[in-house]
A and B are shown apart, each in its own frame.
Chain A
Amino acid sequence: MNLLHELKESVLIAWSALRTNKMRSMLTALGIIIGIVTVTLMGSAIAGLNTEFRRMVAGIGADNLYVQRFAWFAGEEPWRQARNRRELTLRDAREVERLSSFAVAVGAEANGNGTVSYQRKQAKGVWVAANTENSATIRGLSLSAGRWLSESDVQSARPVCVIGSYLVERFFPYGGAVGSRIKLNDMPFEVIGVLEKQGSSFGNNPDDQIVIPVTRFTREFTRWPDVSIVVKIRNLQELDDAKEELRGILRKIRRVAPGEKDDFAINQQDALISFFNVIGGSIAAVGLFITGLSLFVGGIGIMNIMFVSVAERTREIGIRKAIGAKRRTILVQFLVEAATITLGAGILGLLIAWPITLVIDHYMAASMPWWLVGIALAVSVLTGVVSGFLPAWRAARMDPVEALRSE
């Protein structure tokens, strides 16, 4: 009797056994259902986080180097030292652009928040992105209307702006954004371009942004003319060389004496990714471990009920053995029974978790990709097989004479 045949028969037997004990099977399955729901939700939250993070990081660009006063992940102590460093200025950026051989574009950026208003409508907490003429290339942005900041816009610190699609929908639902005058923190700006819609990530909506010349920003919005210098390099393979060159240039233009430490930091996407991998990895491990415990408890329930089932059906096992069932056949029969409960529970769990994921997705990133569904089902079957093994083994090893004698 081959295994496939055996499995088919076992599924039929399991099905009829479970139908006979509907209530009991349901209650036992409940533990697994809860386990699968929690594990799946944890999984989909982690999956969502990953996707969102990748999207966000893609915006930073692997081939962009960020020269800033602070290193991204340096810890608190270096940050205190870095606080007293001299600002990076637009002039530094221009110098870098002139001297660098690896860079294809050098921009300066600063960020802030502001209130945008047009006629009687107002949007608070809008992301103010202070950019230069080549920031669109560096940031990988494209326009759906109008034009980007020009070199002279930046040089003369003109009150012009490029706005995100969210602001356009808000203020100009009937079109006519380009050429209109809006106000940013009560100062007038002329809209010269509109960004293409990007969609939100990490509770951060890039469509809710207003881009203005970095010069205007440092003049009007902050007393601290500090910028980030963004260097887009020609070729990712030259990243290390480019970084070294950039360091030399900056030390030169900022007149850092030989032997002294850099008074700036060069940041890149890598750092962010490795940081995220560490943090994300530990969140995933802890989260899945804790939620996995509920699955474990469910598994114990399955084991318990399978022991009961084997004890109740001792006579049936005796009959089957007398008629010619081998150990393996009996083992498979009970393993399949346990796996049927847990697989059913897994499917129910997914059916419950799926709409919850959709709801969560409204508030934070969450998704249920196919691989997660596959893993959840595999885990449910595995739970059944693992927790059913001991009871099934006991059944398989029963002495037929003893088993037939039982009531």
Chain B
Amino acid sequence: MSLIQIHDLTRRYVMGTETVHALRGVSLSIERGEYLAIMGPSGSGKSTLMNLLGCLDTPSSGYYELNGVNVAHMDDNSLAEIRNREIGFVFQSFNLLPRSDSLHNVELPLIYSGVSASERREKAMQALVNVGLGERTHHKPNELSGGQRQRVAIARALVNNPSIVLADEPTGNLDSRTGEEILGLFETLSRRGNTIIVVTHEEDVAQHARRIIRIRDGLVAADEINPNPRAALRMQEAVK
């Protein structure tokens, strides 16, 4: 059974008197363990698709099954629970809580799933070590470099063992070298069996994935296997 099964998904926005069709019927299935890139120029509907895949938004019509559960018409609170359990977000602008240190930022999903304080601490610590930030647990976001912030965000995305890591332009705010580092981290995660979906408009970034889905005008324009994914800089191996 596929991890993600979507069928004829549409999303319309009503803006005043105009109706915008952001998605016009997208069907996809994604298997567990895939490393997938969703590509498309701005306005193509890829962000809308990401919001739907991430359960941040609900479709106007269509079917979306995530990990065996139909989530297309869930209410706000059930979606929050799904997001908490099944999805780890990585954003372009990191989206860390500015007043909290790395450890607390990583703990956040565990707080919302009701994990006890001691277990929380332990898991968050481990997640930070896994992204190579074991020494930066008590730094606040403004005391970290861009790459480090994004790694905190990745640790946060992984800490609850989600089914999918959903990354929206994860390298967009980073210089190219740091961006490579982050992509390298994704490769490592992918090798360990995590399902990764990267949404991007950069061909370079997409080329790291093993499957590339191209969105244009709210429809899937191409869905192709990447025969030789680009490897990130090997220096990444220094970071576990």
- Please give the residue numbers on chain A whose beta carbons come within 8 Å of chain B beta carbons, in ascending order: 1-2, 5, 9, 16-17, 20, 315-316, 318-329, 399-401, 404
Chain B 92-121 against A: per-residue CB contact (8 Å), 1 yes, 0 no?
A: 000111011000000011011110000000
> For the complex, what is the distance from the CA of A9 to the CA of B109, rounded to whole Å?
13
> For the complex, what is the distance from the CA of A399 to the CA of B56, rounded to whole Å?
8
Neighbour of A20 across the interface among B54, B84, B99, B113, CB < 8 A: B99
Question: Any chain A CB within 8 A of the CB of B35?
Answer: no
| Interface contact B84-A323, CB-CB below 8 Å | yes
Question: Any chain A CB within 8 A of the CB of B46?
Answer: no
Closest chain A CB from B179 CB (angstroms): 21
> For the complex, what is the distance from the CA of A16 to the CA of B99, rounded to whole Å?
8
Neighbour of A327 across the interface among B56, B77, B113, CB < 8 A: B77
Give every chain B residue within 8 A of A322 (Cβ-Cβ): 54, 56, 83, 89, 95
Chain B 127-162 against A: per-residue CB contact (8 Å), 1 yes, 0 no?
A: 000000000000000000000000000001000100
Question: Any chain A CB within 8 A of the CB of B81?
Answer: yes
Give every chain A residue within 8 A of B56 (Cβ-Cβ): 321-322, 400-401, 404
25 sample A-B contacts, Cβ–Cβ < 8 Å, listed by A number: A1-B111, A1-B112, A1-B113, A5-B114, A9-B111, A315-B95, A318-B95, A319-B95, A319-B96, A319-B97, A321-B80, A321-B83, A323-B89, A323-B108, A323-B109, A323-B156, A324-B80, A324-B81, A324-B84, A324-B112, A327-B76, A328-B77, A329-B112, A401-B56, A401-B57
- Nearest-CB residue, chain A, relative to B81: A324
Closest chain B CB from A300 CB (angstroms): 27
Closest chain B CB from A272 CB (angstroms): 60
Give every chain B residue within 8 A of A324 (Cβ-Cβ): 80-81, 83-85, 109, 112-113, 160
Question: Any chain A CB within 8 A of the CB of B186?
Answer: no
Number of chain B interface residues as a range: 20 to 34
Neighbour of A316 across the interface among B51, B80, B97, CB < 8 A: B97
Chain A CB within 10 Å, residue with most, of B77, B109, B112, B114:
B112
Question: Any chain A CB within 8 A of the CB of B91?
Answer: yes
> For the complex, what is the distance from the CA of A324 to the CA of B157, rounded to whole Å?
11
- Nearest-CB residue, chain B, relative to A322: B89
Q: Knowing that A316-B97, A321-B56, A326-B77 are A-B contacts, what are 7 other residue pairs whose CB atoms are under 8 Å apart, sorted by A's residue number? A: A2-B114, A321-B80, A322-B56, A324-B83, A326-B81, A400-B57, A404-B91
- Nearest-CB residue, chain A, relative to B79: A400
> For the complex, what is the distance from the CA of A326 to the CA of B109, rounded to whole Å?
12
Give every chain B residue within 8 A of A17 (Cβ-Cβ): 99
> For the complex, what is the distance from the CA of A17 to the CA of B98, rounded to whole Å?
11
- Nearest-CB residue, chain B, relative to A316: B97
> For the complex, what is the distance from the CA of A324 to the CA of B55, rounded to whole Å?
10
| Interface contact A323-B114, CB-CB below 8 Å | no
- Nearest-CB residue, chain B, relative to A330: B80
> For the complex, what is the distance from the CA of A316 to the CA of B156, rounded to whole Å?
15
> For the complex, what is the distance from the CA of A326 to the CA of B114, rounded to whole Å?
12
> For the complex, what is the distance from the CA of A65 to the CA of B99, rounded to whole Å?
72
- Please give the residue numbers on chain B whose beta carbons come within 8 Å of chain A beta carbons, in ascending order: 51, 54, 56-57, 76-77, 80-81, 83-85, 89, 91, 95-97, 99-100, 108-109, 111-114, 156, 160
> For the complex, what is the distance from the CA of A348 to the CA of B160, rounded to whole Å?
42
Give the 10 A-B residue pairs with the shortest CB-CB distance, closest first: A324-B84, A1-B114, A324-B112, A326-B80, A326-B77, A319-B95, A400-B56, A323-B109, A401-B56, A324-B83
Closest chain B CB from A326 CB (angstroms): 5
Give every chain A residue within 8 A of B114 (Cβ-Cβ): 1-2, 5
> For the complex, what is the distance from the CA of A173 to the CA of B108, rounded to whole Å?
74
> For the complex, what is the distance from the CA of A322 to the CA of B88, rounded to whole Å?
9
Closest chain A CB from B232 CB (angstroms): 26
Give every chain B residue within 8 A of A9 (Cβ-Cβ): 111
Give every chain A residue within 8 A of B85 (Cβ-Cβ): 324
Give every chain B residue within 8 A of A404 (Cβ-Cβ): 56, 91, 95
> For the complex, what is the distance from the CA of A63 to the CA of B231, rounded to whole Å?
101
Give every chain B residue within 8 A of A320 (Cβ-Cβ): 108, 112
- Nearest-CB residue, chain B, relative to A325: B112
Give every chain B residue within 8 A of A325 (Cβ-Cβ): 80, 112
Closest chain A CB from B166 CB (angstroms): 10
> For the complex, what is the distance from the CA of A318 to the CA of B113, rounded to whole Å?
17
Give every chain A residue within 8 A of B160 (Cβ-Cβ): 324
> For the complex, what is the distance from the CA of A325 to the CA of B110, rounded to whole Å?
10
- Nearest-CB residue, chain B, relative to A9: B111
| Interface contact B112-A401, CB-CB below 8 Å | no
Neighbour of B83 across the interface among A5, A20, A316, A323, CB < 8 A: A323
Give every chain B residue within 8 A of A321 (Cβ-Cβ): 56, 80, 83
Give every chain A residue within 8 A of B57 (Cβ-Cβ): 399-401
- Nearest-CB residue, chain A, relative to B153: A319
> For the complex, what is the distance from the CA of A328 to the CA of B75, rounded to whole Å?
13
Give every chain B residue within 8 A of A323 (Cβ-Cβ): 83-84, 89, 108-109, 112, 156
Closest chain A CB from B185 CB (angstroms): 19
- Nearest-CB residue, chain A, relative to B157: A323
> For the complex, what is the distance from the CA of A164 to the CA of B99, rounded to whole Å?
68
Give every chain B residue within 8 A of A329 (Cβ-Cβ): 112
Give every chain B residue within 8 A of A16 (Cβ-Cβ): 99-100
> For the complex, what is the distance from the CA of A327 to the CA of B80, rounded to whole Å?
9
Closest chain B CB from A215 CB (angstroms): 83
Neighbour of A401 across the interface among B51, B108, B111, B113, CB < 8 A: B51
> For the complex, what is the distance from the CA of A329 to the CA of B80, rounded to whole Å?
11
Closest chain B CB from A284 CB (angstroms): 45
Give every chain B residue within 8 A of A401 (Cβ-Cβ): 51, 56-57
Closest chain B CB from A396 CB (angstroms): 9
